[in-house]
Chains A and B, each alone.
Chain A
Amino acid sequence: MRVRASLIWAAVASAVGLIVLLGFFFEIEALRLARQILVDWAVLLAAWALMLGLLNLLGVHWSKVSQQEKGWPYSAVLLLFFLVTLILGLLFGPDSPVILFLFNNVQLPIEASLMALLAVTLTVAGFRVVTRRRDLVSLVFVGVGFLVLLGTGPWVIGSEGVLNTFFRDVRNWLAQVWAAGGARGILLGVALGAIATGLRVLLAADRPYGE
């Protein structure tokens, strides 16, 4: 009798999922070892996924440079420093002073600057929202942001006054009631979605590994 390959794959995925899942409920040494081996394989696959991501990034930008597409000089710079860093890392190791120097003086300042630009961008966006979109949602958005900023940062005068305390309490109320309530809802949805997805994979209803 000829068995379809998709059935084999579905059976393997369901069996692996069940072994890992049962390892959380039963303290059996064989089950624990099997689960550990399977998770170790998953870690290896994840590491290789990171490697594949790097190769894909290299291929995309190499294609841009070879076809002289729009913005190809930036891709060329990326490829250049990618190769330089890779070669230096392979030669000296990831914990060499050269790599640490590059990290502390190139990567970290650049990423911190990008995060600082985010603060400027958000400030300009808030100003444009209240000047151009004068609707209720915009006013609520800007009003909540304004109250949280007032309750978060220090004041020039009266930082320990009643008014500052009042706005600090308002900020805490917004962050710990409204925002935390929304976060709980999101987390509950994520948990239910994870359970549903896990069951679908276990029952072979979802086959992310292909047909």
Chain B
Amino acid sequence: MAEIRCPMCSQANPEEAEVCAFCSARLRPLLAGGPAEGIPPSEAEPEETDWLSRIRQEAVRGQAEPTPPPPEEGGPDWLSRLRRAEAEEEGPPKGEVPAWVSDAVEPAPPQPAAPAEPEVPDWLARVRERKAAEDVPAEESAPEPEEDWLSRLRVPQEGQVPPREAPPLPEILRPPDEGTPAIKPPPASLPSWLPQPPVEEEAAEESPALPSTPWEPPSRPIAVPFSRGKAAPPPEKPAPAWPSEPETPTPAWPPAPATPASAWPPAGESPSIAVPPSRAGAAPEPPALVEPAGPEPLPHTPALLPEEGLPFVPGEAADFDIDSIKLPEWLSEAKPAAAPPKPQAEEQGVNLAPATLPAWLEAMRPMETFRPVVEIQPEEEQLVEAAGPLAGLRGVLLAEPVVAIPRQRDVGSARLDVTERQYAHAEFLHRMVQEEERELPPAAPGRRRIPLVRWVLSLVLLLGVALPMTAGLPAFALPVLGPPDLNPFIGRINALPVERPALLVIDYEPGYSGELEAVAGPMLDHMISRGLRIATVSTRPSGPPLAERLLVRAGVAVGYQNGRDYLHLGFLPGGPAAVQLFAEDPRQAVPHGYLLPAELTSRSGWESSMLSGVTALSDFGAVILITSGAETARTWIEQASPRLGEVPLLMVLSAGVEPMVRPYYETLNPQVDAILAGLPAAAAYENANGRPGGAQSIWGGFGSGLFVAELALALGAGYGLLTALLARRRA
């Protein structure tokens, strides 16, 4: 005896038992495909969902007769892949169908070839009834399975439903129009989360031309995939591909390529979801969101809607007045204000919610959070296109905000990640800017301080220099031993030939006259005492007066006369080039003279008898340079030395220049034969001459001034050390 085990308490019950004897649970679930006993079909399974019923039916029929495979030829690749995948995976994954359902469903006998009456939702049944009452002629011509669905679209519909009740196809779903570019099958006809069928351009090209008849609104609602409007009633014959039984003889998607109008989707099939019957019967699909095409042709909905009453000429699509174009109905219906009423099925509680999807199918769908939500505003609130070919239209996708208007960057809204160091730098910069902007008050005039140290030192130094020269105190002993360079210099002066004049170059500024006149004085005394004739020249404008001053002071006592004993050649302009030129040709370099005697009427010193035999630099007895500058000394050494020959080059120098000239003197091949530098050497020279001169007259002041300077440095160093020690002790 067969037993039925209760799915709730697992107790065995007789086979004919309807409910469990132990727990009163129903042992025989209500099967799909027929109402329960004693219950009207419409009320037999009010709470069961459609998909469950279909699963039950398909499970029963699937065991009886397998769904014949669809024709392979002519089908697109994606369909082939779907079929292959379908063959591998029949139905939902294991576990998705509850076990009690599988157990409860008995193996059904083989189904006849004729389709059984499908389970039709009540809302669909009512729609069909109403449609049948309204549209009888259309029903008569419905069973045309082999007629192209596009050709049916061309047939003017009678007894049309008012156009506003049927949302026209969106632009992307309209079949290609004649004279207009072929519109590819809209990939949006399938949900984006399902595999998209490949676009077949050939099919689009082969689509027949649309009739050049005035456009009329479709006679019945058009099934659109996942229509947002009211659900269109499905035709009664043939039964819709889905959710009716899968063994509907309508050709499976897609038709053979030989079909003349094999536009996508094919006739007789749902234009929205391309699901093979086998898959439709095996796997639970989303609830009916589409309207099967049925036998009735879909109305033609041109891309651009002409005004009512005007004939639609497809070939003149490009000549349309863009202002006369009606907006698509579906756009108007999409307004929130005029939101379409809920489908009757929903109103009547038909479970079409996505929650009824099995988990494995739900897992294939994209996440809800990533689905774009487009909120369509009412028509009066929508913006009017201002540019482009759609200018003046309302409710179109505006191109300007996308293309022209700069959008705010998403990155800009992100919070800056500022470190403390960067923040500190920014604060510092901010303070700097504020500080720059702040107006500083005028500095208060500081108290005028008397430079006491400067005054005291100056006074002491002045007294130290003046007292020895005026009062003779303090008295400094004259140097007995001169510097080591003095004797060679004196020897050179002694060796100068008397018959040849010596060239005296006066190249110092008047400021150095105090020192250099004192230094050069003993040398001039020595030369005058020997009776040497002297010719002077200078590369400085102030040189000739200095030379006159120097020679007058040195030779006045012995009666030296200008033009006879000495002569001023004057100013030699041109710097180093002039020195070179003078070394090459002295007569041409200095053609005139300075303070020439009256007997030289030609105003040229070279006519003097003193310089009669002098034509070159080497004709002088010696070249003696009195200078206070290292640069001048170097110029004469470099420019004149090559032309001197055996003529000695002597230098009378300031004490500060001596170190710079000494390298030319203390060398294996000296370019300077003797130097006389500094007041001590001059004082020693005077001692050697036996004639006190200017050097000894200022010797006391010179010594006293140096002593004051030494004392100032020593006191300053002592004060600095003392303050440093005190500061360290305080610290």
A residues sitting closer than 8 Å to B (CB atoms) are 24, 32, 36, 39-40, 42-44, 46-47, 50, 94-95, 99-100, 103-104, 107-108, 111-112, 114-116, 119-120, 122-124, 126-132, 134, 139, 142, 145-146, 149-150, 152-156, 159-160, 172, 175-176, 179-180, 182-184, 186-187, 190
Contact = CB atoms under 8 A, between A and B. Distances in A.
A95 B510 contact: no
Given A124-B454, A131-B719, A176-B666, A112 B510 contact: yes
Interface in B626-679: 630, 634, 642, 655, 658-660, 662-663, 666, 678
Interface stretch (B33-41, B409-417, B572-580): B572-580
B710 interface: yes
B208 to A, nearest CB: 77
| Interface-central residue, B461, B634, B662, B709, by most chain A CB under 10 Å | B709
A155 B476 contact: yes
Contacts of B510: 103, 107-108, 111-112
B364 interface: no
Given A126-B713, A130-B717, A47 B573 contact: yes
Contacts of B709: 119, 122-123, 126, 149
B314 interface: no
Q: Can you list the 9 inter-chain pairs with the closest CB atoms, starting with the nearest?
A: A153-B706, A43-B574, A179-B659, A111-B511, A130-B716, A127-B716, A115-B511, A154-B703, A154-B476
18 contacts: A24-B642, A50-B573, A95-B544, A100-B545, A103-B510, A104-B549, A112-B510, A116-B514, A119-B709, A122-B709, A123-B713, A126-B716, A130-B713, A131-B723, A153-B680, A153-B703, A154-B680, A160-B481
B477 A159 contact: yes
B474 A130 contact: no
B606 interface: no
Nearest to B460: A123
A42 B702 CA distance: 43
Nearest to A158: B477
| Interface-central residue, A32, A111, A122, by most chain B CB under 10 Å | A111
A150 B655 contact: no
Contact of A36 (B481, B509, B584, B717): B584
Contacts of A100: 545, 548
Contact of B457 (A103, A120, A172): A120
Contact of A103 (B542, B575, B588): B542
B622 to A, nearest CB: 24
Interface of A is mostly: helix
Interface string B25-51: 000000000000000000000000000
A120 B713 contact: no
B529 interface: no
| Interface-central residue, B655, B658, B659, B724, by most chain A CB under 10 Å | B659
Contacts of B720: 130-132, 134
Contacts of A131: 716, 719-720, 723
Contacts of A32: 584
A154 B702 CA distance: 8
A156 to B, nearest CB: 5
A46 B724 CA distance: 55
A152 B680 contact: yes
B599 to A, nearest CB: 16
Contact of B710 (A46, A149, A186): A149
B717 A139 contact: yes
Nearest to A104: B549
Contact of B453 (A44, A124, A153): A124
B191 to A, nearest CB: 77
B719 A156 contact: no
Contacts of A142: 713, 716-717
Given A43-B578, A100-B548, A187-B634, A153 B716 contact: no
B552 to A, nearest CB: 10
Nearest to B476: A154
Interface in B473-499: 474, 476-481, 483-484
Contacts of B129: none
Interface in B686-731: 699, 702-703, 705-710, 712-717, 719-721, 723-724
Given A100-B545, A127-B453, A115 B514 contact: yes
A129 B714 CA distance: 11
B662 to A, nearest CB: 5
Contact of B660 (A42, A115, A124, A183): A183
Given A112-B510, A184-B663, A128 B678 contact: no
B331 interface: no
B60 to A, nearest CB: 103
Contacts of B708: 123
A131 B722 CA distance: 9
A154 B474 CA distance: 11
Contacts of A139: 717
Nearest to A141: B713
B458 interface: yes
Given A103-B542, A139-B717, A154-B479, A127 B710 contact: no
B19 interface: no
A137 to B, nearest CB: 13
A152 B545 contact: no
Contact of A180 (B513, B575, B666, B702): B666
A127 B581 contact: no
B608 to A, nearest CB: 15
Contacts of B594: 94-95
Contacts of A182: 659
Contacts of A112: 510-511, 513-514
A181 to B, nearest CB: 9
Given A108-B513, A120-B457, A152-B655, A159 B479 contact: yes
Contacts of B710: 146, 149-150, 153
B22 interface: no
Contact of B713 (A99, A115, A145): A145
| Interface-central residue, A50, A94, A114, by most chain B CB under 10 Å | A94
A154 B578 contact: no
Contact of A107 (B542, B573, B659): B542
A39 B580 contact: yes
Nearest to B719: A131
| Interface-central residue, A44, A50, A103, by most chain B CB under 10 Å | A103
Contacts of B655: 152
B724 A153 contact: no
A99 B594 CA distance: 12
B520 to A, nearest CB: 15
A124 B457 contact: yes
B589 to A, nearest CB: 8
A46 B716 contact: no
A126 B634 CA distance: 30
Contact of A123 (B461, B481, B723): B461
A36 B680 contact: no
A95 B584 contact: no
Given A39-B577, A46-B577, A95-B544, A126 B458 contact: no
B663 A120 contact: no
Nearest to B664: A187
Given A43-B574, A183-B663, A120 B514 contact: no
Contacts of B714: 146
A24 B639 CA distance: 11
A111 B545 CA distance: 14
Contacts of A104: 545, 549
Contacts of B703: 153-156
B424 to A, nearest CB: 35
Given A107-B542, A126-B709, A126-B712, A152 B678 contact: yes
Nearest to B581: A39
Nearest to B509: A111
A47 B655 CA distance: 30
Given A99-B545, A111-B509, 16 more contacts: A36-B588, A47-B574, A103-B542, A112-B513, A115-B512, A115-B514, A119-B709, A123-B457, A124-B454, A131-B719, A131-B720, A134-B720, A146-B714, A154-B478, A154-B680, A183-B659
